[in-house]
Amino acid sequence: MAIPILILAPPNAWRASLFACTNLYPNGLMAWYCPCVALAQIAARVGVCGGYHRVLCGVGSLLVAGLLSYMMSEAGLLSYMMSEAVRDDDPIRSHHLKALSFLSFLSVAIVLGAIRTRVRGLYDLVGSELEDHGSAICCFWCTLVQLGAEVESFTPDVCRFGARETLPSYCV
C-alpha cells in the first residue's frame, strides 16, 4: 500500500522588488506625493480596512496631524500663539508635539504593514510579518509601490486618484 506524500507548493515571489520604486509610473509618484491615496487604492483593490474612502480619510488625517504637529514643534508656532506666562514650558510642548508626530507616522506605517501582511497571505507570497512591518516602517514609500504593483491598484501610464474595482474573491 502506497503512502500519499503531501507536497506543499513553495510561496510565490513578489512581482516587484521592494526597491523598484522608480520603474513603476505612476505608482511611484503617487506613493511619494499622495501616500494616503496610494494606500487607499491598495486597500480598496484587496477589500480590506473598510475600503477606499475610510482608508483615505483615516490615513490622510493621520498624515496631516503628523505633519502639522511636526511643523508646529519645529517652527515654534506655539510660542507665538501663547501668552508670556505659558512660554516657559515651550520645550516640553515641543517634545510632546514631536512625539505626537512620530506616533502619527508610526500608526500609518503599522496600517501599511498590516495591509502588506494581508496581501502576502492572500497571494501566498514569501516573507513574514516582521518583514512586512519592518519594510513599512523603514521604507514606507517603497512598500507602497511594491504593494500597488502586486495588487495592480494602478493602470500603467495613467494617473488616477480613484479606486479600481475590488478583486473578485474565489474559493480554493
CA distances from 133 to 12, 107, 137 (A): 19, 11, 6
Give the list of residues 6+ apart from residue 23 with CB closer than 8 angstroms, or none.
Answer: 16
**CA torsion through residues 161, 19, 142, 69, sign:** negative
Q: State which of 77-81, 109-113, 146-150 shows the largest mean pLDDT.
A: 109-113
CA–CA separation, 80 vs 139, rounded Å? 35
Is 145:33 a contact under the CB 8 Å cutoff? no
Q: What are the pLDDT digits (tens) for 133-170? A: 999 999 999 899 899 888 888 766 666 666 666 555 55
Is 159:30 a contact under the CB 8 Å cutoff? yes
Identify whether 69 is part of a domain: no
Q: Which residue has the cell 503512502?
A: 3
Q: Write out the three cell numbers for 74.
A: 519645529
Identify whether 82 is part of a domain: no
Identify whether 135 is part of a domain: yes
- 12 has which bridge partners? 125
Q: Provide, rounded to the nearest whole percent, the portion of the chain with pLDDT above 90.
A: 35
Q: Find the domain containing 57 and state its range.
A: 21-62+98-151
AA identity, residue 94:
S
Is 43:55 a contact under the CB 8 Å cutoff? yes
Q: What are the pLDDT digits (tens) for 7-49? A: 555 568 888 888 876 666 777 788 888 899 999 999 988 888 8
Identify whether 74 is part of a domain: no
Domain count along the chain: 1
Identify whether 120 is part of a domain: yes
CA–CA separation, 63 vs 116, rounded Å? 19
Identify whether 162 is part of a domain: no
Identify whether 76 is part of a domain: no
CA–CA separation, 135 vs 137, rounded Å? 5
Which region, left, alpha or beta, applies to residue 13 given φ > 0 means left and ψ of -120 to 50 means alpha? beta
